[in-house]
Amino acid sequence: MHEAMPQTILIVEDHPLVAKFYRMALERAGGYTCIVTENAEEILAEVEQGRVALVLLDVALRGTQWERRPIDGVELARLLKQRAPGRLPILLATAHAMAGDRERLLAASGADAYLQKPIYDVQELLETVQRLIRG
């Protein structure tokens, strides 16, 4: 039964064109359903309902607020890991690409994997997402 239902990926990305690219890539090449939002309440609601198979999360979120202060992807990842009812893989996708960023961001966020922008290889993105969802 699960096989028949398309799995849902939550895209948290504040740049509309980048979000558009993720959505097209994941929906067309992977057959996933995508939700795009950078609203923290909406993100948490989706995750807490247990409908999300994976979160594709940007680090620098310019407009996202939580409890009336700005929250970035690192903090949000920790929050989502706490609130998710089951296993929730999180893929960090970020343009932070200076030396040491990968280790620092993975350790600080508790995310499962890290992709560095520019992300343009649809196949690589898809394989990473599939691998994380399989667990």
Partner 1 sequence: MESFIEEVKRYLGFTTQDMALLRQLGPRLEKHFPEMAERFYAQIPLHPNAFRVFTGGDIQMVRLKQTLQEWARGLFRGVYEEEYAAERYQIGYRHVRVGLEQKYVISAMGIVRAFLNERLLLEMPSGEESLPYSGALNKILDLDLNLMCESYMHATIQNLKKLNEQLEQANRELASASRTKDEFLSHISHELRTPLNSILGFAKMILDGMCESPAEEHELLQDVFSSAQHLLALVNDILDIRRIEEGRMTLRIENVDLRQVLDSTLPLVAMQAAEKGLRLINETAHVPLPIVWADEIRLRQVLLNLLSNAVKFTKEGSVTVRVQTPPEAPEGSGISSTRRIRLEIEDTGIGIPPEKRDAAFEAFVQFHQIDARRFRGAGLGLAISRRLIELMGGRIGLESATNGQGTLAWLLVPLAETVSSRRSLAAGPL
**Both tokens assigned to 86:** 């089951």
Instruction: Report the distance separating Cα 88 and Cα 62, nearest Å.
Output: 24
- AA identity, residue 33: T
Closest to partner 1 by CB, 84 vs 106, is: 106
Smallest gap from residue 107 Cβ to partner 1 (A): 18
Closest to partner 1 by CB, 47 vs 59, is: 59
Applying CB under 8 A, which of residues 68, 120, 134, 135 lies at the interface with partner 1?
120
Q: What is the footprint of partner 1 within residues 26-55 (CB under 8 A)?
A: 28-29
Nearest-5° Cα angle at 26, 2 to 102? 110
Cβ atoms of residues 92 and 109 within 8 Å: yes
Applying CB under 8 A, which of residues 9, 10, 21, 52 lies at the interface with partner 1?
21
Instruction: Report the distance separating Cα 57 and Cα 90, nearest Å.
Output: 7
Residues that bind partner 1 (CB under 8 A): 15, 17-18, 20-21, 24-25, 28-29, 60, 62-63, 70, 94-98, 116-122
